[in-house]
């Protein structure tokens, strides 16, 4: 770790401590944590993975995971929105597929103020593009403009987004599955409040409705023939999955810290000592520590491979699967070890557990990852089913 990165992570830790003071409020109310993004901008963390020529720090996945895990330890909804922003900026910098004028627009705005971006891909009827269906959102060419109509779901962080990278199907003779840079203040775009999940309540992952939204013809980011399977670069996928894993690793760390504080101080009269002295409690804490260490090692290894450009194949999906399963197990075990006090909303463990189980909603879901892994294994033996 360089000295500069050490200072960056130190800033993230201090912000996480501050964010934790209002995390329960944002969870209970669902109010979006606008003030947290003011602080992230002031700390220079919105440009962590952005190119240095645009005022960013030019960091990769290892650093991004470390920052995201810290922020999630304090307030995970903030961390998830930040992770999505990092994912877009990393894609712009690392792969160079964005048209230069669009990259300039997004990166320059990120220097000047809070100008976050996220993808808008899922839809109510077809779910995630990972399920294979074409988007029902349609982009129609009209002279030198695109006119876009449709309905997108789970647009995480929409109250603070300046743009969305929106997936749509073009109406051309040879339709394309294409991404468009759409400003969130565009005429004809409205937000439909739909997010009321048990966990990650403050992410404001609401729906957006587009009614004949008009954007310039040149604001198409990229496209591919609709008849072709979705192209996925293994490093881009691993970057995204690594950041998602880091969010819930941070949640699990927070649950562990709360549990240790409790068992070290709670001393029932019948025991005459803190319950941390009880073998069953120690065994459970040991289980948690092993899972946390496994998650940290897997995330770090994945980050180092992506940053070095080494082949990663499906490892991003696999790591995310294990990290999320461990995070859910950790928060569940923490609730069990804390007993009745852990179920009190003021205790915060039940909040951490609700946040952790929400991780399983991210596409592709665990059963899909296992199916892909099985088919890959079978194909190597030339026995895959039709």
Residue 176 backbone dihedrals phi, psi, to 5 degrees = -120, 145
- Residue 161 CA neighbour count, 13 Å, CB half: 35
The domain made up of 120-225 is a member of CATH 2.40.110.10: yes
Q: Let me know how many helices (H) and strands (E) the chain has, helices first.
A: 10, 8
Does the structure show a pLDDT above 90 at 244? yes
The fraction of the chain above a pLDDT of 90, given in percent, is: 92
Q: Do 3-114 and 234-380 have matching folds?
A: no
Look at residue 46 in the predicted model and tell me its pLDDT: 97
Look at residue 384 in the predicted model and tell me its pLDDT: 45
Look at residue 67 in the predicted model and tell me its pLDDT: 98
- Its pTM surpasses 0.85: yes
The architecture that CATH gives domain 3-114 is Orthogonal Bundle (1.10)
Does the structure show a pLDDT above 90 at 308? yes
The residue-averaged pLDDT of 24-52 equals 97
The residue-averaged pLDDT of 51-77 equals 96
- For the chain, how far is it from start to end, CA to CA, in angstroms? 47
Look at residue 383 in the predicted model and tell me its pLDDT: 56
Look at residue 97 in the predicted model and tell me its pLDDT: 81
Pairing state of beta strands 138-142 and 161-170? parallel
Does the structure show a pLDDT above 90 at 385? no
- Which of 46, 24, 26 lies closest to 34, judged by CA? 26
- Which of 244, 126, 145 lies closest to 137, judged by CA? 126
- Is the peptide bond preceding residue 364 cis, with omega within 30 degrees of 0? yes
For the chain, give the mean pLDDT: 95
Categorize the per-residue pLDDT at 141 as very low, low, confident or very high, splitting at 50, 70 and 90. very high
Grouping H, G, I as helix, E, B as strand and the rest as coil, residue 136 is: coil
Fold classification of 234-380 is Butyryl-CoA Dehydrogenase, subunit A; domain 3 (1.20.140)
Could you report the per-residue pLDDT of 311-362, keeping only the tens digit for each? 999 999 999 999 999 999 999 999 999 999 999 999 999 999 999 999 999 9
The residue-averaged pLDDT of 201-216 equals 98
Does the structure show a pLDDT above 90 at 380? no
Categorize the per-residue pLDDT at 131 as very low, low, confident or very high, splitting at 50, 70 and 90. confident
**Distance (Å, whole) CA 229 – CA 227:** 7
What's the residue count for the chain? 386
- Stretch among 38-42, 110-114, 232-236, 258-262 having the lowest mean pLDDT: 232-236
Cα 197–Cα 201–Cα 203 angle in degrees, nearest 5 = 115
Contact 115, 109 (CB under 8 A): yes
The residue-averaged pLDDT of 124-133 equals 89
Could you report the per-residue pLDDT of 247-267, keeping only the tens digit for each? 999 999 999 999 999 999 999
Domains of the chain, residue spans: 3-114, 120-225, 234-380
Look at residue 2 in the predicted model and tell me its pLDDT: 82
């Amino acid at each position: 770790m360089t000295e500069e990165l050490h200072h960056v992570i130190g800033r993230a830790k201090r912000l996480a401590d501050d964010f934790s003071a209002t995390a329960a409020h944002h969870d209970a109310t669902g109010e979006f944590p606008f003030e947290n993004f003011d602080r992230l901008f002031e700390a220079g963390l919105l440009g962590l993975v952005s190119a240095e020529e645009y005022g960013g720090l030019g960091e990769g996945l290892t650093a991004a995971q470390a920052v995201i895990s810290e922020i999630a330890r304090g307030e995970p909804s903030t961390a998830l929105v930040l992770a999505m922003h990092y994912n877009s900026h990393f894609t712009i910098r690392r792969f160079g597929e964005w048209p230069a004028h669009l990259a300039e627009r997004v990166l320059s705005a990120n220097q000047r103020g809070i100008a976050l971006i996220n993808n808008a891909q899922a839809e109510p009827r077809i779910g995630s593009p990972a399920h294979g269906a074409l988007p029902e959102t349609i982009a129609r060419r009209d002279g030198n403009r695109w006119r876009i109509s449709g309905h997108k779901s789970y647009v995480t962080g929409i109250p603070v987004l300046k743009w969305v990278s929106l997936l749509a199907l073009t109406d051309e003779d040879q339709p394309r599955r294409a991404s468009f840079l759409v400003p969130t203040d565009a005429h004809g775009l409205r937000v439909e409040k739909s997010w009321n999940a048990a966990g990650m309540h403050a992410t404001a992952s609401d729906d957006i409705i587009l009614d004949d939204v008009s954007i310039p013809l040149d604001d198409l980011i990229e496209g591919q023939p609709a008849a072709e399977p979705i192209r996925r670069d293994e490093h881009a996928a691993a970057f995204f999955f690594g950041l998602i894993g880091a969010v819930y690793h941070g949640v699990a760390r927070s649950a562990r810290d709360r549990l240790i504080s409790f068992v070290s101080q709670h001393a029932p009269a019948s025991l005459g000592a803190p319950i941390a002295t009880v073998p069953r409690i120690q065994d459970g804490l040991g289980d948690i520590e092993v899972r946390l260490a496994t998650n940290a090692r897997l995330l770090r290894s994945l980050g180092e491979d992506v940053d070095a450009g080494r082949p990663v194949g499906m490892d991003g999906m696999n790591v995310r699967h294990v990290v999320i399963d461990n995070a859910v197990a950790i928060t569940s075990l923490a609730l069990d070890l804390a007993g009745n006090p852990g179920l009190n909303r003021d205790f915060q463990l039940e909040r951490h557990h609700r946040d952790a189980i929400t991780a399983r909603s991210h596409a592709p879901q665990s059963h899909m990852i296992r199916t892909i892994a099985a088919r890959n294994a079978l194909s190597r033996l030339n026995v895959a089913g039709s």
